[in-house]
Structure 1
Amino acid sequence: MENKKRIPNWLKIIALLIFIIGGYFGWTAYTTFLASNVTDNQKYLYINTGDTYLQVLQKIKDQKIVEDPNSFDRAAKYQNYTESVKPGRYALTPGMNNRRFIGNLRGGYQDAVKFRFENIRLKENFAGKLAENFEADSITFLKLLNDENLAKSYGFTKDNFIAMFIPNTYELYWNTAPEKLFARFHDEWKKFWTKDRLAKAKAINLTPQEVSSLAAIVKGEALHKDEMPAIAGLYLNRLQKGMLLQADPTVIFATQDFTIRRVLNKHLRTDNPYNTYIYKGLPPGPIMMPSIVAIDAVLNYKHHDYIYMCAKEDFSGYHAFATNVAEHQINARKFQKALDERNIKK
């Protein structure tokens, strides 16, 4: 038998080294690009406008967004992310690998904010709500809300500017500039005010802004949506007769004391343009953001002859309506007695 050729030891060593080196680079490539790395510690990564790569990397480390920051750093440099930072709000999927994660960051594939608002009373409240959901701070938003020139450019005044923001759910990007956010809300305002709604506003001799001001009063008075058209009809009757609206929610707004549960004579004497017990007609602007339901209640108001109303004494949230003072006084005494029995003094 012939002797088999033996593989030289040096060749075995070289083969082993190649295997080891190949394995090392293979493992490094796997851990750098393909292995899961994103944790479940955060739902989103927020990258501010102007952030550098080093600032992003520091956020990722501080917030423990990835298991291995070093592998993320290697992948980011290989994928040229260090020079391609884009601001935004990026959704984090636990187990996501660096390649996909960085691909989202490089492409700017951020997750939109589903922004919903309603029952907003003051501009300060709305500015705070905006700041909670978007990159800019509340001071920036409040400054824009009080900007007379900006309001005028959209067809509003500083007082009724808040009417432009129709309560609804909007999908917007977290880092959208405040001015662009306002432009988007104006677009939504224009879409909301269809030809049909504009025609109905014209029929009751009100502008869309005035409809919002009246709708805000209706919203403030009504605890039940089904009663809104009747309340709207009452205030429209008073407007048409040239009567003071005498709406308690406007008095509360004028005092800026939103803890009031019982409007007293001292409150009615508050000298403020929003006090409809003193100043005739609609207030300068909405006393809150009216809901879509309240706006449509004004546009589709209930026709009747009522000019007085008072909360029912059963505290059901509904109102007793009247066509004359005598009947109204009977209803008012019943409600005042119920307040006294419950020891509600203010």
Structure 2
Amino acid sequence: MAFIKQLILASVVSVVAVTGGFSWWSKQPVTSGGAPIAFTVTPGSGVGAVTQQIVAAGVPVNPILFGLLARLTQKAGRIKAGSYELKPNTSPRRLLDQLVRGEFAQEAVTIIEGWTFRQMRQALAASPDLKHDSAQLSDSELMARIVSDSSEYKGKAPEGLFFPDTYLFAKGASDMQILRQAHVQLLSKLKAAWDAREPDLPYKTPYQALVMASIVEKETGQKSERAMIAGVFVNRLRTGMLLQTDPTVIYGMGDKYAGKIRKKDLETDTPYNTYTRTGLPPTPIALPGVASLAAALGPAKTDALYFVSRNDGTSKFSDNLGDHNKAVNQYQRGIAVP
């Protein structure tokens, strides 16, 4: 009887030791340094296949123990397919949680304020971490898949209808995901700015305000001047003056623009030539950021009708043509003004 008691006690001690050792192993770092290890779990993989894929990618985890951990914690059937990264000091238990929660490896793509939609598409196409589902779609086909049939922007050109920002995504995600997200972001930012707009602005729709915001975006990189520039253009719209803004002319020239505007270009009529046509151009000319949206819908209260670059990133504003011509002579032609 004493022998049986000793045998049972030894068995219990062994189980406790094994259990304690297993628990200790599950909480120790798989790696203690070095670069993150990328790996992919393919769809439909059972826990055995998952552990094989992880180990084959270079993750130094014991596949038998890891599979046992997944089964004992009842998480074996909850692992999500996708692309992951094992970061230094990650334990097997934390790694399993990462797989169950679907904490995929995050990549990023940045869309810059002032880019055209064409430049945005080029940036997405250049990302090696995106799935390029939009590659064979024309702009109109792409918009048809993104804009709902009930949207007021159905049938609109894509220019300006995407918000410039940095977007995070799981490696291998569709570029359409980024496009949809950027469009929704733009609509949200535009609505917020429209709802907070100053009264009596010369815009009939949020879309017209978006067009103005895109012009403001291209006219200056100085956030502090955007409201003033918007104020000038709003004053021009109210008085029926031509906007006469070079960025719209450049946009209308398309591939013909070679870095310089000539007098002939200013005189050549296009839907975007604000030297030959009154009012706003038919579409935005770029992707405006939140500061330009705010400026277009909250322009500075000013009497200024003109501005010219000082060639230092700032502008000189004038209320009348005489003062403006003096500023042009001083800052653009280098003629001393008394």
TM-score between the two structures when normalised by the length of structure 2: 0.70
Report the residue type matching 1:295 in the other structure: L
| Structure 1 residues 306 and 81, CA gap change in structure 2 (3 angstroms) | same
Question: Residue 139 and residue 269 in structure 1: after superposition, are their counterparts in 2 closer, same or farther (change >3 A)?
Answer: farther
The equivalences for 1:42-61 within 5 A come to: 42-43=35-36, 45=38, 47=40, 50=43, 52=45, 60-61=54-55
Cα RMSD (Å) of the superposition?
A: 4.7
For residues 220-243 of structure 1, give each alpha carbon's deviation from its aligned partner in whole angstroms, at most 9, with x where no partner exists: 111322221221111122222333
What amino acid sits opposite 1:243 in the alignment?
M
After TM superposition, give the deviation of residue 252 of structure 1 in Å: 2.5
Q: What is the distance in 1 between the residues matched to 2:188 and 2:225?
A: 27
Preserved CA contact (<8 Å) 1:255 1:270: no
SS in 2 for 1:211: helix
Instruction: Judge conservation of contact 2:162–2:185 (CA < 8 Å) in 1.
Output: no
Shift of 1:67: 5.3
2:316 to 320, 324, 333: 320
1:237 aligned to which of 230, 235, 257: 235
How many residue pairs were aligned?
Answer: 326
Match of residue 166 from structure 1:
163
Computing the radius of gyration over CA atoms, which structure comes out larger, 1 or 2?
Answer: 1
Q: Distance in 1 between matches of 2:152 and 2:39?
A: 35
SS of structure 2 residue aligned to 1:332: helix
Aligned-partner SS, 1:163: coil
Worse overlay, 297-306 or 31-40? 31-40
Supply the AA of the counterpart residue of 1:240. R
Q: In the TM superposition, what is the alpha-carbon distance from 1:186 to its structure 2 partner?
A: 2.0
> Aligned in 2, Cα 1:301/1:26: closer, same or farther, shift over 3 Å?
closer
Q: Distance in 2 between matches of 1:245 and 1:238?
A: 6
Separation of aligned partners in 2, 1:299 and 1:221? 16
Contact (CA 8 Å) 1:247, 1:276: kept in 2 or not? yes
Shift of 1:37: 1.4
Distance in 1 (CA, whole Å) between partners of 2:275 and 2:194 is: 33
Shifted more, 155-164 versus 22-31: the winner is 22-31
Match of 1:332 in 2: 328
CA contact under 8 A between 2:117 and 2:158: conserved in structure 1?
no
DSSP-derived class of the 2:147 partner: helix
* Aligned mates of 2:125, 2:93 — CA distance in 1: 32
Unaligned segments of structure 1, at least 5 residues: 1-13, 340-346
Q: Which amino acid aligns with 2:96?
A: I
Shift of 1:121: 0.9
In the other structure, the counterpart of 1:200 is: 198
- Segments of 5+ residues of structure 2 without an aligned counterpart are 1-6
Is 1:255 the counterpart of 2:248? The answer is no
- 8 Å Cα contact 2:52-2:63 kept in structure 1: no
Partner of 2:209: 211
In the alignment, structure 1 residue 155 sits paired with structure 2 residue 149: no
Give me the whole-angstrom Cα distance separating, in 1, the residues matched to 2:193 and 2:245.
30
Of the structure 1 ranges 51-60 and 151-160, higher mean CA displacement relative to structure 2 is found in: 51-60
Query: CA offset at residue 251 of structure 1?
Result: 2.4
On the 8 A contact 2:303/2:319 being kept in 1, the answer is yes
For 2:244, the equivalent position in structure 1 comes to 246
One-letter amino acid of the structure 2 residue matched with residue 197 of structure 1? D
3-state SS of 2:302 partner: coil
Note the alpha carbon deviations across 1:79-130, whole angstroms, 9 max, x for none: 6766544245646342222233123202324577787643251224334555
Aligned equivalents of 1:202, 1:135: Cα separation in 2: 46
Aligned-partner residue type, residue 102 of structure 1: L
Q: What is the alpha-carbon distance in structure 1 between the residues aligned to residue 278 and residue 168 of structure 2?
A: 40
Identity of aligned residues (%): 23
For 1:83 and 1:301, how far apart are their aligned partners in 2? 57
Structure 1's 196 and 152: CA in aligned 2 closer, same or farther, altered over 3 A?
Answer: closer
Letter in 1 for 2:232: L
Deviation at 1:276, TM superposition (A): 2.6
C-alpha distance in 2, partners of 1:171/1:107? 17
Seen in structure 2, the aligned counterparts of structure 1 residues 168 and 327 have a Cα distance that, compared at 3 Å, is same
